[in-house]
């Protein structure tokens, strides 16, 4: 009766397909890592004829890369700071309240990531053109903050909803006022969610290209530098090195954020 197609047991075929799929997801990333060390600088020859650390040194000395990196980091920092304030306020307001128009507001807080980035980009550009605003640092930040707010809001609201309301009531019953309850009960509980949301927002902003190309004007963030390089393939080895660096800069905060939100889940179970 129990054939190989039993839906409650993993078949070998299913297992192999799952692992093959996972390998498919990971391979390109490993390819980039490998190519950053290749000695071949003109073609994409695989396997690489030899390995070297030289390109890291060359890329390290490039002032245009450093300038782009500095711009990306400062945009991400400012956008994340704005998103932390605005996203948290929104999460507090929307977590447990019921009022008319709430669904419409919730939709508004999903829209910037539900619609493709190109819509946000061209819409902001249209508005800047109408308003006669010159694109630059602050227009990039405006675009990034808009979707970063959504990320922070999602993270904080998920945590607030898991927080038992009885804790706040207990705190108030025991004589703490609103400020004390916020500082000693609420804040420690949402701290990791804030940190995780902030890091995700930072990584997303650091890596953003689709909106940024519309709002950057003549400024060059690191992704824009990288995008231009794709059409000027003379400096492949340096592009490879920057690619590896970008992967590391975005992946570390994201893995930390993941770990922090998992901690939150674990605490809840105890």
Partner 1 sequence: MLRGLSAFLYGRRGFYLSLLLLPPLLWLGIVYLGSLFALLLQSFYAIDEFTARIVPTFTLATYGQLLSHPANVDIILRTLAMAVAVTLAAAVVAFPIANYMARHAGPRMKAFFYVGVMMPMWTSYLVKVYAWRLVLAKQGVLSWFVDLLGLAPALDHALSTPVIGGPSLASSYLGMFVVFVYMWLPFMILPLAAALERVPESLLQASADLGARPGQTFRQVVLPLALPGLAAGSVFTFSLTLGDYIIPSVVGAPGYFIGMMVYQQQGTAGNLPLAAAFSVVPILLIGIYLTLARRLGAFDAL
Q: Report the C-alpha gap between 258 and 249 in whole angstroms.
A: 15
Q: Compare residues 17 and 51 and give the one whose CB is closer to partner 1.
A: 17
Q: Report the C-alpha gap between 35 and 194 in whole angstroms.
A: 36
Number of residues this chain uses to bind partner 1 (CB under 8 A): 87
- For partner 1, which residue of 71, 76, 79, 87 counts as binding (CB under 8 A)? 87
Site map (CB under 8 A) of partner 1, residues 113-132, x = contact: -xxxxxxx-xxxxxx-xx--
- Does 29 interact with partner 1 (rule: CB under 8 A)? yes
Point out which span in 62-70, 71-79, 158-166, 249-257 binds partner 1 (CB under 8 A): 249-257
- How many residues are recorded in the chain? 270
Tokens 């703490």, residue located:
176
- Does 43 interact with partner 1 (rule: CB under 8 A)? yes
- Does 51 interact with partner 1 (rule: CB under 8 A)? no
Q: 51 pairs with which residues across the strands?
A: 38
- Residue 217 makes CB contacts below 8 A (sequence gap 6+) with 134, 135, 136, 139
Point out which span in 54-62, 66-74, 188-196, 246-254 binds partner 1 (CB under 8 A): 246-254
Residues 153-192 that bind partner 1 (CB under 8 A): 153, 177-179
Tokens 């297992």, residue located:
15
Q: Compute the least distance from the CB of residue 246 to partner 1, in Å.
A: 5
* Helices of type H across 2-62: 12-35, 54-60
């Amino acid at each position: 009766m129990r054939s190989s197609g039993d839906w409650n047991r993993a078949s070998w075929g299913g297992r192999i397909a799952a692992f093959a799929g996972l390998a498919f997801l990971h391979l390109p990333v490993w390819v980039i890592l490998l190519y950053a060390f290749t000695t071949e600088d003109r073609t994409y020859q695989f396997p690489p004829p030899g390995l070297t650390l030289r390109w890291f040194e060359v890329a390290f000395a490039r002032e245009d890369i450093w300038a782009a990196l500095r711009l990306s980091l400062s945009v991400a920092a400012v956008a994340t700071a704005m998103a932390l304030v605005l996203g948290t306020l929104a999460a507090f307001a929307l977590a447990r309240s019921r009022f008319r128009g709430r669904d419409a507001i919730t939709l508004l807080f999903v829209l910037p990531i539900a619609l493709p980035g190109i819509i946000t980009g061209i819409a902001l550009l249209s508005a800047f053109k109408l308003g006669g605003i010159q694109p630059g640092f602050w227009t990039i930040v405006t675009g990034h903050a808009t979707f970063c707010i959504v990320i922070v809001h999602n993270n904080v609201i998920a945590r607030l909803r898991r927080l038992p309301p009885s804790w706040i009531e207990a705190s108030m019953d025991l004589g703490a006022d609103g400020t004390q309850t916020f500082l000693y009960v609420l804040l420690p509980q949402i701290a990791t969610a804030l940190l995780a949301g902030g890091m995700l927002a930072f990584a997303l902003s650091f890596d953003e290209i689709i909106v940024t190309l519309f709002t950057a004007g003549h400024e060059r963030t690191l992704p824009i530098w990288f995008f231009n390089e794709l059409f000027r393939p003379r400096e492949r080895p340096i592009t490879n090195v920057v690619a590896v660096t970008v992967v590391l800069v975005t992946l570390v905060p994201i893995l930390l954020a993941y770990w922090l939100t998992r901690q939150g889940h674990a605490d809840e179970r105890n």
